[in-house]
């Protein structure tokens, strides 16, 4: 099962996702980048990705994914947590606007910023709200419009990152139930924040009195160094999560869902954990790296397609800027994904 038996816990009650309708193929990217379809596929595993149209913001994606998760769960929520790296604006948080547009009234609502680990950080926060009695039902949304902060001429990031949103509804329940969220293993290393960053736009750059250099408003990533840390941290945290769930080994997972960062990273982590190929969930070929939304979109699509079903022991892990990482293990409940 997913942790200690008995006691109040957060239980997954609904799930949904939304991808913007505009699909960008590798061939389209080759028209403006020095690259090829073969180069992109061999290094990232990506063939297509979804991107927002002009004027569409992260909140628009979040509202649609949230609406579907609420419909899946058959009810509302008394708190909203939004994991995102691309808020509509620096201030205020985007979550209150999303809650308002979903008709949830004056519920508690706030953003979580942990880049691609955002869904797991948000899951821990939402579960804590429920475990403490602060909330009975929490809508957790992970949404990013990464295309809005990517340099369109940067081959290292423009071919990887994309847009999307996924959401789950958590309800108060018992820790022994399928879908109960147990321990979420989380970690960070701020000493390596340079590896994944947007240099300009924050108080550090603004207070310097120095105008940003051209391109510093865009997302930057040191790909080779990130690869090594991503593999190490996702592998280690996955082992810790499996142990916390009482599993003999991570290979006991019926399904393994890792943040869809890069096909090579995913394969290396799964191989290191001993996860059989048929137990690995992946959608990176179709949707690319959707940031914080990655895990939530993957779970919603897998549940809708029938590759993730009730009773499956599920191992989740992610890695992102900060640096941040996390993992958790649970038993998938009987929910209908929208």
Q: Looking at the annotation, which residues are catalytic?
A: 116, 259, 289
50: alpha, beta or left? (left if phi > 0; alpha if psi -120 to 50): beta
Distance from C-alpha of 229 to C-alpha of 291, rounded to nearest angstrom? 17
Contact at 8 Å (CB) between 224 and 262? no
Tell me if residue 232 falls in helix, strand or coil.
helix
- Please name which of 329, 14, 283, 2 lies closest in space to residue 140, comparing C-alpha atoms: 14
* 165: its two tokens: 């949103």
HSE-CB for 106 with a 13 A CA cutoff: 0
Between the alpha carbon of residue 70 and those of residues 41, 65, 99, 166, 167, the distances in Å are 35, 9, 12, 12, 9
Is residue 314 within 8 Å of residue 308, measured between CB atoms? yes
With beta carbons less than 8 A apart as the criterion, state whether 126 and 81 touch.
Answer: yes
């Amino acid at each position: 099962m997913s942790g200690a038996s008995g006691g109040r816990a957060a239980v997954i009650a609904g799930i949904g996702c939304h991808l913007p309708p505009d699909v960008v193929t590798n061939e389209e990217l080759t028209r403006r980048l020095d690259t090829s379809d073969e180069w992109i596929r061999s290094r990232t595993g990506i063939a297509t990705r979804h991107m927002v149209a002009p004027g569409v913001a992260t909140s628009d994606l979040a509202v649609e994914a949230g609406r579907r998760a609420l419909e899946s769960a058959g009810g509302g929520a008394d708190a909203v947590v939004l994991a995102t790296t691309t808020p509509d604006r620096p201030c205020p948080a985007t979550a209150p606007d999303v809650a308002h547009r979903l008709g949830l009234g004056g519920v508690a609502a706030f953003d979580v910023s942990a880049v691609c680990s955002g869904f797991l950080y948000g899951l821990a926060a939402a579960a804590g709200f429920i475990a403490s009695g602060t909330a009975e039902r929490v809508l957790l949304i992970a949404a990013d419009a990464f295309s809005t902060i990517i340099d369109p001429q940067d081959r290292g990031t423009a071919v990887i990152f994309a847009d999307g949103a996924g959401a789950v509804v958590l309800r108060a329940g018992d820790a022994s139930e399928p879908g109960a969220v147990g321990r979420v293993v989380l970690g960070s290393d701020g000493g390596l924040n340079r590896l994944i960053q947007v240099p300009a736009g924050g108080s550090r750059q603004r207070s310097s009195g120095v105008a940003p250099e051209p391109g510093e408003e865009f997302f930057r990533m040191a790909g080779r160094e990130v690869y090594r840390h991503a593999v190490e941290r996702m592998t280690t945290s996955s082992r810790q999560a499996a142990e916390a769930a009482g599993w003999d080994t991570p290979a006991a997972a019926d399904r393994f869902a890792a943040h869809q960062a890069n096909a090579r990273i995913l394969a290396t982590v799964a191989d290191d954990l001993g996860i059989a190929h048929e137990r690995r969930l992946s959608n990176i070929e179709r949707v690319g790296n959707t940031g914080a939304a990655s895990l939530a979109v993957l779970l919603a699509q897998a549940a809708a397609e029938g590759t993730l079903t009730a009773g499956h022991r599920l191992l989740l892990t992610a890695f992102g800027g900060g640096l941040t990482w996390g993992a958790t293990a649970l038993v998938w409940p009987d929910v209908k994904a929208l």
